[in-house]
Amino acid sequence: MALAVTSSSTAISGSSFSRSGPCSDRKALQICSFRLSDLSHVSQRRYSLKAESPPTRNDSLVTRASTLITPGVEEKEEDVEDFEQLAKKLEEASPLEIMDKALQKFGSNIAIAFSGAEDVALIEYARLTGRPFRVFSLDTGRLNPETYRLFDAVEKQYGIRIEYTFPDAVEVQALVRNKGLFSFYEDGHQECCRVRKVRPLRRALKGLKAWITGQRKDQSPGTRSEIPIVQVDPVFEGLDGGVGSLVKWNPLANVEGGDVWNFLRTMDVPVNALHAQGYVSIGCEPCTRPVLPGQHEREGRWWWEDAKAKECGLHKGNIKKEDDSTTADLAPAIVHDIFESSNVVALSRGGIENLLKLGNRKEPWLVVLYAPWCPFCQAMEASYVELAEKLAVKGIKVAKFRADGDQKEFAKQELQLGSFPTILLFPKSAPRAIKYPSEHRDVDSLMSFVNLLR
């Protein structure tokens, strides 16, 4: 993915976004360049008004960022907008209405984060409002060539210049020299994303008061199912600094992926050529691949990791922290088990350990390592149950082992668990289980795997 800051085809001059004109009221303080009655223009800064005596000669040039000094004015705190309430009011609003509200409210202090299909839709909605808008994107240095061509096409389509933010060269050099070009395949993607994406984004957002993202609730069931239309950003800081200084808008939160694509086709706007090759969610080249029919779109990102890890850190606030630090699997409190069938044996820890120890088994075993809350496990449930019915008549045992929670480390060390679901075949005579290597989890593919190795 990429990120940086851009202005629209409508020229955005300094005067276009001036917050006030010359002060003609003699009673107003000239040090602030606007009258007290003009405070309604300041929406997000957390100001307080205090009555103070005139400054002494030594500090006459010092203006506090948190106070406006007006003789005779009683202390009065400015109203702070309740964005949680605003999100509820906008719950039924269209993306166009939400975009218009965001641009109207923040003017030149808000920008669209651009990287993919949803973000092209955001730019199109911004254009339709008729308001000036800005676009920014992160260039991680590891994007697909098709993504760079999309950036160029978007700039030409809308007559804009995307301002790109790049990772710190020294940090990238240190990471690659110490750990190599593909360390994320071995120890997770978070460190690389932190260097190439999160820190550059943090720098870009420090120049804004709000940003607009293309997040949708249906993009990632584990991390994005509850994103609001608008919120105070829980992770990053904005122009004014401090907690609560940045607002995050998600105009497409309630829109389904199919509707986004219908909009893109209708409006005939540029899209990434990789979409025609089976890619849905597109990030950096080494960490993105096409998905198969029936797979969730986020399964094409960081596929070697758990479903719960499908965030790079840009939207880290989506991941809820548990009170108990040992329960970090993002599983709901009550989870209904899956793969329920008389033909599927539920293995305990002792059962799977015994299966590992057996050198000569009476029959082959096919075992799925799963977590019932994992959407990818849920997606293959019907196929696995049907497979179990077919293998029952062939004398092959089919089983399941819940490998999340307390069993996760054991499964990683002893059962080759990489991500959920992991499927293992225990042949009759081979001492070590054989891991199913494919993402094809349909009945025919799994049956071929078993027949070839049984």
Q: Which two tokens stand for residue 229?
A: 């239309």
DSSP 14: T
Contact 68, 49 (CB under 8 A): yes
Q: Is 374 assigned a catalytic role? A: yes
Determine the Cα–Cα distance for residues 247 and 309; give it in Å rounded to an integer.
24
Instruction: List the one residue out of 251, 255, 210 whose CA is nearest residue 233.
Output: 210
The full length of the chain comes to: 454
Nearest residue to 226 via CA among 117, 419, 84, 125 = 84
Can you tell me the distance from the alpha carbon of 406 to that of 408, in angstroms, rounded to the nearest whole number? 6
Contact 280, 274 (CB under 8 A): no
Answer whether 99's CB lies under 8 Å from 253's CB: no
Which one is catalytic: 192, 193, 287, 377? 377
Question: CA 307 to CA 205: how far, in whole Å?
Answer: 28
The structure tokens listed for 91 are 């719950």
CA–CA gap between residue 123 and residue 35 (Å, rounded): 35
The closest alpha carbon to 4, from 178, 165, 124, belongs to 165
- Dist CA 189 CA 312 (whole Å): 7
Active site residue 377: yes
Torsion of CA 441, 445, 448, 453, to 10 degrees: -40
Catalytic residues: 374, 377
